[in-house]
Structure 1
Amino acid sequence: MTRSQHPEKLISAAGGFVGILLVLLVSAYFVGPTSASLVVASMGASAVLLFAAPHGPLSQPWPVFGGHLLSAVAGVTCCRFISDPRIAAPAAVGLAIGVMYYARCIHPPGGATALTAVLGGPALQELGYQYVFTPVLLNAVIILVVAVAVNAPFAWRRYPVAWARRAPPPRPEAPAISQEHLTFALRQMGPLLEVTEEELAELYAMAQHHAGGTHLSPTQIRLGGCYANGRADARWAIRQVVDEQPGATPEQDVVEYRVVAGYEGRGSGRCTRAALALWAREEVPPPVVAGAAEARVTARSAR
């Protein structure tokens, strides 16, 4: 998720301030204030990448560390062996780009680090290859440590990118399944699954009924109890448990029932206790059974 609100911008600005302040103090200690201002220029570009785009490929530790160090080596080498600065400067940048490419640590501010080694003045040129370690190596370490510390408290922008906590990708919504889909699947199964289309329709109705709201638990199904499915359509019915046979578990007990009201007429059937609990929505007191059936008939006649 992209976070571009004011707190995010303030975190980036604060990180850049702290990082460059420390880099400037260290550079001034080793090369003096005047030369330090030249050295810090390349680190300023790195600070923009590290604190404004901490998860970018050019902002990761190896590009920052390797890019600056290898570019510093390229710059010092060209300064020492090419006397004309008009040739040494572009050669240093070109060599730095090539080395960064092969080392897989492309970091654009590295070009400025190489260029500073050539055009930074006598104070920097006299350092020779010491320029690679002080101040460039120290500056790279400082800016990386500050980037880790400033971004660490914020899970979404922790540095380096491998430490960032990303939100899991959203799960795709499951496609809606209709009775026609179930019928097609049943036909594909062929003789492996002996279920009639009428039984499948009942199964689909029970599944819809279950998805639509709460239902009873198997422990609520008892011998002699009357249960309604709570439907408001033509499939409304009430069943009364008239017998039960133990199964492997209470949920698998086989119960026999008779239909006392509703579309099923006066038929009977048998199923597991769990299946009847899935079908039922409420237990109906026996004295209410007849009245409920009559009320249902009256309501249908009024339509």
Structure 2
Amino acid sequence: MKISAFKQQPAVRLFRSVVGLESNTTGHLEKLISGLGAFLGILAVVLTSSLLMGGTPNLLVVASMGASAVLIFAVPHGPLSQPWAVWGSHTLAAIIGVTCARWVPHVLLAAALAVGLSVSAMYFARCIHPPGGATALAAVIGGPAVTHLGYGYVFNPVWFNVAALFTVGVLFNALFPWRRYPHHFSRAKKVHIETADEAGVSLTHEDFAYAISHMKSFVDVSTDVLSELFEHAVQHSEKEGLHPQTLTVGSFYSNGQVGYRWCVRELLDMSLVTPYKDAATQQVIYKNVAGANLYDTGLSSAESFKRWARYEVVKKDGHWIPVAQPGHL
């Protein structure tokens, strides 16, 4: 029996689903590149630590940097790998770990408390990065070589280790066109798209699976999760997909598209309608504040702007969300 046929057996599919074993469609070149990047990143960490310690064999290297290397070089576009997640998590975790080690007398309780508090702190600070938990743990159980550093542990080795790993991550991932770190540089390019099919498209589970299989870098999300997200998005679209009937200067409007087509515009100004001016000729001035053609400004008729705008939006907790329309929950 061929391997591909074996994978399609019901029992095998059930087992893979239960244990979370996703089909790995990442190319072999990408796997090798990720490994090479991790090697260079950790090499930079070790060499930096050796230099700071005067070449002695007692290198101050936080073990959690190995886990950070996996994320930065194997999943460079993932949210858990981005700069704020890396820097913020390690910094908070180091501070919390040292504090617990200093003020909680029982080492086992201090270790558990350090990790638990770090997880909550990372959540509140929006910098979830799993290796941060190990950084907090190391501050408690790292032995005398770590505990005698006190809060200096935050700067050396943690910050110096992160700086070395981060620098290599930026430079190394920039060598490959499909990789960019931070991920902002892969999506910040301008995409001049002014028209789109208003009828929308119909996507299937197979479409998501196909899209993931053709991504050159590892995607840290499963097809099932993408499909579930799409279902929620469709339900929300059907409930909120009304074009605005009136426009307000100073408000923000979204075209309701996805990917590089998505755009949010701020309505800067609009001409006054007088008895001598036809409403159909009313003009608006807008500025793109998010998404495609960022920071561009433009002039269009009010009616054209209404057709472009799917709904009015406001920014909340860093995300653009639709303004509830009358009659909608």
State whether structure 2 residue 147 is matched by structure 1 residue 94.
Answer: no
Aligned: 1:75 with 2:97? yes
TM-score normalised according to structure 2 size:
0.48
Closer, same or farther: CA 85–29 of 1 in aligned 2, 3 Å: farther
Identity, % of aligned pairs? 56
Residue 136 (structure 2) pairs with residue 114 (structure 1):
yes
Q: Provide the rounded CA distance (Å) in 2 between the counterparts of 1:145 and 1:3.
A: 28
1:147 matched to 2:169? The reply is yes
Whether the aligned pair in 1 keeps the contact of 2:46 and 2:59 (CA below 8 Å) is no
Match of 1:62 in 2: 84
Q: What's the offset of the Cα at 1:26?
A: 2.7
The residue correspondences of 1:1-303 to structure 2 (distance < 5 A) are 4-30=26-52, 33=57, 36=60, 39-164=61-186
Partner secondary structure for residue 156 of structure 1:
coil
The 3 A distance-change label for structure 1 pair 83 and 123 is: same
| 2:96–2:118 contact (8 Å) kept in structure 1 | yes
What does the per-residue CA deviation read over 1:178-202, in whole Å, with 9 as the maximum and x for residues that have no partner? xxxxxxxxxxxxxxxxxxxxxxxxx
Q: CA deviation at 1:35?
A: 6.1
Q: Distance in 1 between matches of 2:136 and 2:43?
A: 22
1:79 partner amino acid = A
TM-score by length of 1: 0.52
State the AA in 2 paired with 1:155: P
Higher share in helix: 1
Task: Give the CA deviation at 1:23.
Answer: 1.0
Q: Kindly name which structure, 1 or 2, has the bigger radius of gyration based on alpha carbons.
A: 1
Deviations 1:60-112 (A, max 9, x none): 00000000011000000000101210111001111111111111101100000
Q: Is the 8 A contact 2:35 2:73 kept in 1?
A: yes
The structure whose RCO (Cα within 8 Å, separation 6+) is larger is: 2
Contact 2:62 2:157 in 1 (8 A): no
Read off the aligned partner of 2:151 and give its amino acid letter: Y
- 1:22-71 superposed Cα distances (whole Å, 9 cap, x missing partner): 112333455764563xx432000000011000000100000000000110
Task: Indicate conservation of the 8 Å contact 1:20/1:40, yes or no.
Answer: no
2: distance between equivalents of 1:16 and 1:167?
31
Aligned mates of 2:94, 2:40 — CA distance in 1: 23
How far 1:123 sits from its partner (Å)?
0.9
* 1:20 and 1:43 in contact (8 A); partners too: yes
Write the letter of the residue equivalent to 1:66.
Answer: G
Structure 1 residue 4, shift from structure 2 partner:
2.4
Contact 1:72–1:131 (CA<8 Å) still a contact in 2? yes
Query: For 2:51 and 2:151, how far apart are their aligned partners in 1?
Result: 17
SS of equivalent to 1:79 = helix
Distance 1:28 1:80 in 2: 27
**Residue ranges of structure 1 left out of the alignment (5+ in a row):** 175-303
Instruction: Report the CA distance between 1:154 and its aligned residue.
Output: 1.7
Supply the RMSD in Å over aligned alpha carbons: 2.9
Which residue does the alignment assign to 2:16? none
Instruction: Find the aligned partners of 1:105 and 1:157 in 2 and give their Cα distance.
Output: 21
Give secondary structure in 2 for the equivalent of 1:155: coil
Deviation, 1:155, is: 2.3
The one-letter amino acid of 2:74's match is A
